Amino acid sequence: MGARSQRVPERMCVACRRLRPRTELARLVRPTQATEIDLNLGGQASGKGFYICRSVECLTKLEKDKRLRKNFSAKLTAPALQWLTAERQRLEEEETQRTPASCSEEVKDL
The residue extents of the domains of the chain are 10-90
Span of 6-10, 49-53, 65-69 with lowest mean pLDDT: 65-69
pLDDT at position 12 is 94
pLDDT digits (tens, 9 = 90+) for 60-110: 888 777 766 677 777 888 888 888 888 888 888 888 887 655 555 554 555
Name the amino acid, one letter, at 87. E
Where in 4-110 does DSSP place strands (E)? 10-12, 19-21, 25-30, 36-39, 48-53, 75-76
User: Is the CATH number of domain 10-90 3.30.1230.10?
Assistant: yes
Q: What is the pTM of this model?
A: 0.71
